[in-house]
Amino acid sequence: AAPPAPAPIRQLPEAVVHRIAAGEVIQRPASALKEMLENSIDAGASRVSVTVKEGGLRLLQVADDGSGVARSDLPLLCVRHATSKLRAYEDLETIATLGFRGEALASISFVAHLSVTTMTRGAQHAWRASYQDGALLDPPGAKPCAGVPGTVLTVEDLFFNVPTRRKAFRAGGSEEGALILDLLQARVFGGGTRYAVWAAPRVGFTLRRQGESRADLATSPGASRLDVVRAIHGPDLAACLLPLAVSRGLEPTADLPADAPGGPHLRAEGFVTSLAWTGRRGALVLFINGRCVECGPLKRGAEAVYASLLPKGPKPWMFLDVALPPRQVEVNVHPTKREVGFLGQDEIVDAICRELEATLLAAMSSRTFATEA
Ligand code: ADP
Ligand code: MG
């Protein structure tokens, strides 16, 4: 049979385009929460409290004591590609904030009911405003109200207008709740992005299910990273952790000559389980320049170091906070920013793995020595 007559090409309505794009940035409650946590950290908060209901599908609320949003910026808060963090494309080379696309809150406002209460330091009162489809709802507009300095963002009924996505999540959202906990905890088991450990001692987090008096997670500002790991994962893991620190210059490249600002230089610090660790499952919690990311080559390299020292031993648990010159890191890889590219990856992985091996060997020989003595 002859092919049918072609369907006419039409321009999609803008709201449809935005709603489709929003689904790529915000895939589930945990991805909305990741964006909100990053905003609170970017705003210089030292306390961040998260409240969820039905795994974040019904309610996801993040309250911080950060900078707040100026009254005059409220109309722009959820406008797509509006950001306080990036001005020119070149700024991406040296960007120090976690956000820069001005896409997260806009995206959320296309797939949920979003409202904000915010107050800057020194202001007389707070402002409250609600958003839909990228715009401030006006009327009622921004209304003055009582408050404390900082920002409370409330996201309700996520995916209320995306029935297929909504249905994909189990009733009650228990699975999503577990993902959200994982996001904050850097748990031994499972993936996700993990902030409570990384942001210590600067930021304390509380995570609570609405209506519960007991928090699922509570860390206080000032607690060390090791304290946070101990509080979350218990003393057995904490007792097996060895500090790992790497600091060294790297081979200059054409992109990053030796005299480039920030040089080609690697700094990494964190904790790794010693060979005494017998836990069943492991994880690599990796932050590069403050971004929680994945790096297959580093994970495989580190696991190979453990396997060479203790064949068939348990998978290690590792937390690594890596700092590279911003120019060495390509952050603009993916909207969810899950992966970062960086220059000189092989050399960096190699440097970390060699230090890891030396750290494990030193701990092993001091232990042997202690037993013999
Ligand atoms: P981005 O973080 O990429 O700039 P977002 O959509 O996440 O984009 O946020 C848009 C803007 O809203 C930010 O640039 C920031 O100015 C402001 N903002 C969002 N959350 C907060 C917060 N918790 N405290 C202060 N300002 C915020
Ligand atoms: Mg952001």
101 C-alpha to center of ligand 1: Å?
A: 10
Residue having the nearest C-alpha atom to atom 25 of ligand 1: 68
Pairing relationship of beta strands 204-209 and 47-53 according to DSSP bridges: parallel
Domain around 86? 14-233
Helical ranges in 169-265 per DSSP H:
174-185, 195-199, 225-233, 235-239
328 C-alpha to center of ligand 2: Å?
A: 22
pLDDT of residue 172: 57
CATH number at residue 254: 3.30.230.10
Indicate whether 182 pLDDT > 60. no
Ligand 1: residues whose CB is within 6 Å? 35, 39-40, 43, 64, 66-69, 77, 83-85, 99-106, 151
In this structure, are 66 and 104 located in the same domain?
yes
Query: Per the domain annotation, does 321 fall within a domain?
Result: yes
| Gap between the Cα atoms of 311 and 287, Å rounded | 27
CATH number at residue 190: 3.30.565.10
Residue having the nearest C-alpha atom to atom 21 of ligand 1: 39
Query: Per the domain annotation, does 2 fall within a domain?
Result: no
- Tell me the per-residue pLDDT of 309-367, one tens digit each, with 9 for 90 and over: 999 888 899 999 998 887 777 755 555 556 666 778 888 999 999 999 999 999 988 87
138 C-alpha to center of ligand 2: Å?
A: 23
Residues with Cβ within 8 Å of residue 334, at least 6 apart in sequence: none
99 C-alpha to center of ligand 2: Å?
A: 4
Atom number in ligand 1 closest to CA 150: 24
Indicate whether 177 pLDDT > 60. yes
| pTM, 2 dp | 0.85
Which two structure tokens, joined as six digits, stand for 371?
A: 């037993």
- Tell me the per-residue pLDDT of 226-256, one tens digit each, with 9 for 90 and over: 998 888 778 888 999 999 999 988 777 776 6
In the three-class reduction of DSSP (H, G, I as helix; E, B as strand; rest coil), residue 358 is classed as helix
> How many domains, the chain?
2
77 C-alpha to center of ligand 1: Å?
A: 7
| Gap between the Cα atoms of 18 and 20, Å rounded | 5
Task: Decide if 284 contacts 299 (C-beta within 8 A).
Answer: yes
In this structure, are 71 and 210 located in the same domain?
yes
Residue having the nearest C-alpha atom to atom 8 of ligand 1: 102
Query: Per the domain annotation, does 5 fall within a domain?
Result: no
